[in-house]
C-alpha cells in the first residue's frame, strides 16, 4: 500500500489481545474538507494510533490533530484553528462480514477513518472570533475595522418608492388645512347671522 496512512498489522493478525502503538506525522495528500475551512493539502497531521488484534479483525483507534485554515464566514479574513479528533474503527479480516473497513495485504489504511473524523469536526460556519460583526452591508468593509459606527436606517427596497409619498402627503395636508382656514366664513361682530 502506498498510502502514508497505511499501517502493517501482520504481527497482530488473528492474535486477539496483541496491541501496538504508533505516533506519526503525516503530510496530508489531499485536502480534508471543502468550502470555507479545511486541513489543506501538504499540511502536517499528527497521529497517535493504537492497533489491537481481535477475533474479527484489528481495532484501530487514536487521536489526530492538525491546523485547519480558511476564512471567517462573516468578515472573510483568513483564519486558522486547531482541529483535534478521536477515532476508532474495526478493520475486519473477512470481507464478507458486515463491516465498512477491511485488512488488505496485512495492512490497514487509516486515511478514510481519519478523514471522516477530521471533516466532521470542522466548523460549519467558522468565525475569526465569536462576536465578529461581519461586513458592512452597503460598503462591504469589515465592521471590526471601522470602530463605532452609527446605525443607518435600512429601508426595504420594496417599500423605498413609497417613501416619496410621505413628504408629498405632508405638503398636501398642510395646503388643504390652509385652504380650509381661508374659506371658513366669519360672522359679523353684531351676531346678526350675516357673514362678513
Look at residue 55 and tell me if it is in a domain. yes
Look at residue 79 and tell me if it is in a domain. yes
Quick: pLDDT tens for 42-81. Answer: 999 999 999 998 888 889 999 999 999 999 999 999 999 9
Could you tell me how far CA 46 lies from the centroid of its own chain?
Answer: 24
Domain that holds residue 37: 6-121
Look at residue 193 and tell me if it is in a domain. no
Look at residue 194 and tell me if it is in a domain. no
8 Å CB contact between 57 and 99: yes
Look at residue 191 and tell me if it is in a domain. no
Look at residue 145 and tell me if it is in a domain. no
Quick: pLDDT tens for 96-105. Answer: 767 788 888 8
Residue 8 has a pLDDT of: 86
Look at residue 170 and tell me if it is in a domain. no
One DSSP character per residue, 31-85 reads -BS-TTEEB-TT-EEEEEEEEEE-SSEEEEEEEEEEEEEEE-TTT--EEEEEEEE
Within 10 angstroms of residue 124's Cβ, the number of other Cβ atoms is: 8
From the list 107, 98, 18, the residue with the least C-alpha distance to 54 is 18
Look at residue 64 and tell me if it is in a domain. yes
How many domains are there within the chain? 1
Amino acid at each position: 500500500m502506498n498510502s502514508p496512512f497505511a499501517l502493517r498489522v501482520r504481527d497482530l493478525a488473528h492474535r486477539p489481545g496483541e496491541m501496538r502503538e504508533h505516533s506519526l506525522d503525516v503530510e496530508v495528500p489531499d485536502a480534508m474538507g471543502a468550502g470555507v475551512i479545511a486541513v489543506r493539502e501538504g499540511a502536517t497531521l499528527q497521529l497517535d494510533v493504537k492497533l489491537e488484534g481481535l477475533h474479527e479483525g484489528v481495532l484501530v483507534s487514536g487521536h489526530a490533530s492538525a491546523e485547519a485554515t480558511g476564512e471567517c464566514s462573516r468578515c472573510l479574513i483568513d483564519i486558522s484553528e486547531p482541529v483535534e479528533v478521536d477515532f476508532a474503527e474495526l478493520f475486519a479480516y473477512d470481507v464478507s462480514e458486515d463491516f465498512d473497513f477491511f485488512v488488505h495485504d496485512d495492512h490497514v489504511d487509516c486515511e478514510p477513518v481519519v478523514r471522516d473524523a477530521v471533516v466532521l469536526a470542522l466548523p460549519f460556519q467558522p468565525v475569526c472570533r465569536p462576536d465578529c460583526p461581519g461586513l458592512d452591508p452597503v460598503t462591504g468593509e469589515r465592521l471590526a475595522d471601522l470602530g463605532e459606527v452609527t446605525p443607518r436606517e435600512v429601508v426595504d427596497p420594496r417599500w423605498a418608492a413609497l417613501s416619496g409619498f410621505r413628504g408629498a402627503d405632508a405638503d398636501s395636508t398642510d395646503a388643504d388645512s390652509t385652504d380650509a382656514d381661508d374659506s371658513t366664513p366669519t360672522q359679523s361682530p353684531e351676531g346678526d347671522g350675516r357673514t362678513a
